[in-house]
Amino acid sequence: SNGGGSDSIELTLPAISVNAGDDILLVRDTNAIHLYFGSCFNSFEVIIPVLTTGAAAVSQNGNDAIELFKNGTVVETFGDINVDGTGTPWEYADSWAYKDATGSVTFSGGNWIIGPVGCTIGSNSTYTSSCPYPHCTQTTFESNIKFNDDIFIYPNPFNEIIETNADLTDVFVTDISGKNISLNFSNRQIFTENLSKGIYSLHLKSQNKSYVKKIIKQ
């Protein structure tokens, strides 16, 4: 808003089911942020691409406040919608803001940790920046792709083929509308040519056990 007050609802999020505590990442360029976050990208339970052009484009920068609406009512605000954030404690230009109880910057919805302004400039990944994103650790990828200690899939997000170490007996996905879609599989590979780009729940059966994991087709 650049200090101009509320801009009302500018982006409507998809009607999908998430769990309390899920990490949700909105991205303008999925490939670019995947490369920058590296293994950490896969630790976000929900990843939502957003438009960068047109009337519905998301174009805020590091000095804009952000409002979260529910049923047309503001339920949380980051920053001050009546203030240009440049030079404020909540400016996040070329940096990040991370909601955490230990944060020193407080708004109505809770406390935030704010990275130093400009701390990501010149870096090619969050791990090589002077301010790694708090959610990201070098071990997040392995823990995220595993269903349990024995079953894992990769890559996620994916383009066409998903690999697994499991001997599969059945595979299907559920889309955001709740529709089940069967997938072909062979030799520990899952083929997704019949899926459109989007977010799905992947259901695997192996050795009389069932596993479910959120996946994203790019």
Instruction: List the one residue out of 62, 66, 32, 59 whose CA is nearest residue 47.
Output: 32
The total number of structural domains that make up the chain: 2
Instruction: List the one residue out of 158, 152, 140, 146 whose CA is nearest residue 216.
Output: 158
H or E element: which one contains 70? strand 66-70
Instruction: Residue 53: give the domain boundaries.
Output: 1-144
Work out the mean pLDDT of the chain and round it to a whole number: 84
Count Cα neighbours of 134 within 13 Å in the Cβ-side half-sphere.
14
Residues 75 and 182 in one domain: no
pLDDT winner (highest mean) among 13-22, 50-59, 112-121: 112-121
Residues 126 and 158 in one domain: no
Percent of the chain scoring above 70 in pLDDT: 91
Confidence of residue 72 (pLDDT cuts 50, 70, 90): very high
Q: Does 195 have pLDDT greater than 80?
A: yes
Q: What is the mean predicted confidence (pLDDT) over 71-87? A: 94
Residues 180 and 130 in one domain: no
Last residue of a domain, one of 105, 125, 144: 144
Q: What is the mean predicted confidence (pLDDT) over 28-52? A: 82
Residues 74 and 115 in one domain: yes
Residues 90 and 59 in one domain: yes
The pTM of this model reads 0.60
Question: Given the DSSP bridges, would you call strands 46-49 and 24-27 parallel, antiparallel or unpaired?
Answer: parallel
Instruction: List the one residue out of 178, 179, 166, 152 whose CA is nearest residue 206.
Output: 166
Last residue of a domain, one of 144, 166, 187: 144
Percent of the chain scoring above 90 in pLDDT: 32
Q: What pLDDT, in 10s, does the model give residues 94-139? A: 999 988 888 899 998 889 999 999 999 999 888 788 888 888 754 4
Confidence of residue 143 (pLDDT cuts 50, 70, 90): very low
Give the Cα separation of 9 and 48 in Å (integer): 17
Last residue of a domain, one of 94, 117, 144: 144
For residue 151, what are the contacts with CB-CB under 8 A and spacing of at least 6?
164, 165, 166, 204, 206, 211
Give the Cα separation of 183 and 195 in Å (integer): 9
> Can you read off the two tokens belonging to residue 58?
């998301």
